[in-house]
Amino acid sequence: MSVKGSGDDKITVHIADDHQILIDGVMAVLSLEKDIEVIGYSLNGNQVLDWFNEHSADILVLDINMPEADGIEVLRRFKDYYDAPDIIILSSYDDIKLIKEVLSMGAKGFVPKKSAGEHIVRAIRSVYKGEQYFSDEVKEKMMKTLMGKPSQDLGSQESTLINALTRREYQILKLIAQQYTTKEISEALHISEST
List the domain boundaries for the chain. 11-135, 140-189
Average pLDDT of the chain is 82
Q: Which CATH architecture has domain 11-135?
A: 3-Layer(aba) Sandwich (3.40)
* pLDDT for 84: 84
Of 128, 143, 138, 21, residue with least CA distance to 85: 128
List helix spans (H) across the chain: 20-30, 45-54, 71-78, 96-104, 116-128, 136-146, 156-163, 167-177, 182-189
Q: pLDDT tens across 84-101, in order?
A: 899 999 999 878 888 888
Indicate whether 25 pLDDT > 90. yes
Of 144 and 10, which is predicted with more confidence? 10
* pLDDT for 49: 93
Of 96, 95, 101, residue with least CA distance to 71: 101
Indicate whether 107 pLDDT > 60. yes
The model's confidence at residue 103, banded by pLDDT at 50, 70 and 90, is confident
